[in-house]
Structures are given as C-alpha cells and as structure tokens.
Amino acid sequence: MDWSFFAGVVIAGLLAGVMYSLVAIGFVLIYKTSGVFNFAQGAMVLFAALTFVSLHEEGVPFWGAFAITLAAMIVLGILIERLVLRPLINQPPITLFMATLGLSYIIQGAAQMLWGTQVHQLDLGIADVPLPLNNILISQFDLFCAAVAGGVVAALSLLFRYTNLGLAFRAAAGDSFAALNTGLRLPFIWAAVWSVAGFIALVGGLLWGARTGVQFSLSLVVLKSLPVLVVGGFDSIAGAIVGGLLIGLTETLAEIYVGPLVGGGIDQWIAYVIALIFLLVKPNGLFGQRSVERV
C-alpha cells in the first residue's frame, strides 16, 4: 500500500470538499432563515463571477470590481425577496423550490445576455502549483481556498452570534411567527439573508472561476452541493463544512480505488449514493436541527 499516495489522495479529497462546502454554505444560509431550498444559488455563483470578471477585464481594479459586484448581488437579493419570495410565502416547499428553479433560468439568461457567452480566465494571483511536502503534493491554491472558507465560516459565526442582525436571523429561523410578533421585520431580514448569500456566491464564484474558468458550467456546482447538504444537515453551517469534507473525501477515494473496477467516472453519482446512505441512517444530517420537511 502506497501510503504517501494514499495521503495525497486523502488531502486532495478533503480540499476538493472545501470547495463544495463553500457553495453549500450559501444554501444553508437561505434555508436556515427562510426554509427555501434555493436552487438558483448556482446561477447566482455564475452571475457574480461573470459580473466580476467582465468588470475586471474592462479595467476596473480588483477591489472596485468586487465592491460593484457585491452591490449588484445585494440588489439582486432584494429583488428576489420582493418579487419572488414574498408573494409565495405560504406555498408548500415544492412550489418555492420550483420558483427558485425558474429564478435560476432567469439569472442564467440575464447573465449571458449582459456579459456574453464567452469563456473568461480569472486570475486571482495565486498559482495552482504544488507545495511539495514530503512527496505529497498540496496545491497552494487549494490551501488558499481552505483559508478563505475558514474565514467565511468564522465571519458568519461571528455574525450569527454577536450581531443584532445575526440574532434576528436566528430568531426568524427558529419561529417566524414569533419573530414577527416581537416586531422583527421579516422582509428586511430575508433580503439581508439573500444579500449575504449573494456575497457567498461571489466568493464561491471567484474561487471556482479561478479554477475552471468563468463560463456557463459554473452554475453546475450546485449539483454537488445537494449531497453535501444531506450529509451535513440543511440548516447547519458546520454541517456544510463537515459534509463537504466528507463528500469530497469519499468521492475521491471511491473514484480512485473503486472506479477503475467499474469503468471509472463514478464520482458524479457516488456522492448521491453516500447521501442516500446518510438519509437512511441519519435523516437530519450530521448537524441538522430542523426536521427535514416533505418536499
């Protein structure tokens, strides 16, 4: 058994998982506070990445483009809350899910219409080269992503625990009627949540875009997030991280050690099988609190 190879595989799997977690956190935010499974998160990632990279290519400096894109995502969040979610408040979860599906079509179309359909390179200045560590290769870029993910989680935890806004989020998540009763303005809270999710989409879009180039397929990252959420729990940020790591790890291990036996290319569906097993054993996910509602 080649241990250094195995170690390399494990590390690569975990770091791949970090990238999934990043996108999953966006889902968790929205689900936690409004009970909506936002399928449009992938489209938001694409939109954010495209906006940023197009601005940057026109000459806008990095942080300027970042700020402008962030503003755009906030506006988008507010619009979504107002036009799509508020009118659908009392509908069953499947309706809301379908609405976010329709939303993803709109955002994807708008992104392509505004910024075109070409492929863009996104250079964050961090080369994707390995840091040789005892013959185990770890990519600089992956470490950077892990650091960013860690930073995002830390920031969110601080937000939730120590700010009024975070408190409001948790209240709305716990019991929206009670929250309303105490005078919390739910629409404002939801708009704020979507804006934060938009920020997460931007961060995710930058990191994924740097890795794969910014183009249409970026919106497909959402497909890997669903198993992550099932494993980690739909309403837990910690769960999103742990779930992502687990999925990334098992997926990579499965592809390398089981894949060749069956022809390869199994990492697309193996994540879902893992999710299924989890659902059988722990239906709420590892950290989920809210009982998973019937979709």
Partner 1 sequence: MKFIRSEPAAFGLFLLLALAMALIPSDYLFDAVLTPFLAVSLAALGLNILAGYAGQVSLGSAAFMAIGAFSTYDLLYYIPGLPLLIAFAGAGLITAAVALVFGLPGLRLKGFYLAISTLAAQFFVQWVFTNFPWFSGGDSSGVVNAPPIAIGGILIGSPLRRYLLSLLIVAVLSGFALLLTRSRVGQSFLAIRDNELAARVLGVNVLKTKLIACAVSGFYIGIAGALWAYLYVRLIEPAGYDLNFSFEILFVVIIGGLASVRGAFLGAAFMVVLPLALSRAGAAIFGDTFDSGLVDISEQIILGVLIILFLRLEPQGLSALISRLGLKKKQSHPLPSGVSHEFN
Partner 2 sequence: MNSIKRLSALLLTTAIAGAPMITMAQTMTPQSSTAQEQYFPLQSYRVGPYAAGGTGFFGGFIDYMNLINLRDGGVNGVKLTWSECETQYIVEKGVECYERMKNHVPAPSAWNPLSVGIAYAMIPDVTADKVPLITIDHGRTDSTDGAVFPYVFPLLMNPYSETSAIVNFIGSRSGGDDKLATKSIVVLYHGSPYGRETIPIYALLAKKYGFKLQQIEVPDPGTEQEAQWLQIRRIHPDYVVLRGWGVMNPVALKTAQKVGFPADHIVGNVWSNSEEDAKPAGDAAKGYIALTTQATGTQYPVIQQIEQTVYTAGKGDMADKSRIGSVYYNLGVVNGILNVEAVRIAQAKYGDHTLTGDQIRWGFEHLNLDPTKVQALGAAGLFHSIDVTCSDHEGHGLVTFQQWDGTQWHRISDWIAPDWALLRPIIEASANKYAAQNGITPRNCGTQVASN
Dist. CA 7–CA 247, nearest whole Å = 17
Residue 189 contacts residue 13 (beta carbons within 8 Å): no
Dist. CA 187–CA 202, nearest whole Å = 22
Nearer to partner 2, 89 or 119 (CB): 119
Nearer to partner 1, 64 or 283 (CB): 283
The residue from 127, 154, 158, 276 that contacts partner 2 (CB under 8 A) is 127
Nearer to partner 1, 127 or 277 (CB): 277
At a CB cut-off of 8 Å and minimum separation 6, what does 37 contact?
27, 30, 31, 93, 96, 97, 100, 234, 295
- For the chain, percent helix, then strand, then coil, each to nearest 5? 75, 5, 20
259: contact with partner 2 by CB under 8 A: yes
Contact of residue 121 among partner 1, partner 2, none (CB under 5-8 Å per partner type): partner 2
Q: Which segment (24-32, 169-177, 206-214, 228-236) binds partner 2 by CB under 8 A?
A: 206-214
What's the farthest any 2 CA atoms get from each other in the chain?
62
130: contact with partner 2 by CB under 8 A: yes
Q: How big is the site for partner 2, counted in residues (CB under 8 A)?
A: 46
Find the helix or strand (DSSP H, E) in which 139 lies. Answer: strand 136-139
Find the helix or strand (DSSP H, E) in which 115 lies. Answer: helix 93-115
Q: Which segment (11-19, 88-96, 160-168, 197-205) binds partner 2 by CB under 8 A?
A: 11-19
122: contact with partner 2 by CB under 8 A: yes
Site string for partner 2, 262-291 (x = CB under 8 A): -xxxxxx-----------------------
At a CB cut-off of 8 Å and minimum separation 6, what does 150 contact?
none
Q: Which positions touch partner 1 (CB under 8 A)?
A: 83-84, 87-88, 91, 94-95, 98-99, 101-106, 108-110, 112-113, 117, 223, 226-227, 230, 262-266, 268-269, 272-273, 275-276, 279-280, 283, 292-295
Dist. CA 5–CA 22, nearest whole Å = 26
Within 10 A of 130 (CB to CB), how many other CB atoms are there?
Answer: 14
Nearer to partner 1, 4 or 268 (CB): 268
Q: Which residues bind partner 2 (CB under 8 A)?
A: 2, 5, 8-9, 12-13, 16, 112, 117-123, 127-130, 137, 139, 141-142, 208, 211-217, 220-221, 224, 251-252, 255-256, 259-260, 263-268
